[in-house]
């Protein structure tokens, strides 16, 4: 089965410097309802200064297992314990 994002792969998404610079695994994926934005982050606590903007395609290149949650609905997030764990999908509380 082929998974694809509804968004164009050139779409700007948020990630963290920990994922880009230190190769931390993507453990949390948020798909915000208010603006449709995607955020890919790890276990680290982050401040505004820790976030970076990359393309959705770059996020897929970092970890192609995010393709399995490409259909994550607006207002939901997916999390997992490790890079090899199954994704758990939940509704964002304030969405």
What per-residue confidence (pLDDT) applies to 62?
98
Is the pLDDT at 2 greater than 70? The verdict is no
Query: Over the stretch 79-88, which tens digit does the pLDDT of each residue have?
Result: 999 999 999 9
What per-residue confidence (pLDDT) applies to 95?
57
Cβ-in-10-Å burial (0-12, 13-18, 19+) of 64 comes to: exposed
Q: How far is CA 77 from CA 21, 22, 90, in A?
A: 23, 23, 6
């Amino acid at each position: 089965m082929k998974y694809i994002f509804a968004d164009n792969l050139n779409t700007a998404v948020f990630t963290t410097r920990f994922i880009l610079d230190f190769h931390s695994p993507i453990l949390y994926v948020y798909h915000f309802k208010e603006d449709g934005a995607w955020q890919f982050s790890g276990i680290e606590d982050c401040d505004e200064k820790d976030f970076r903007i990359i393309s959705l395609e770059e996020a897929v290149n970092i970890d192609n297992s995010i393709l399995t949650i490409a259909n994550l609905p607006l207002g939901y997030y997916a999390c997992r314990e490790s890079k090899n764990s199954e994704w758990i999908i939940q509704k964002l509380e304030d969405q």
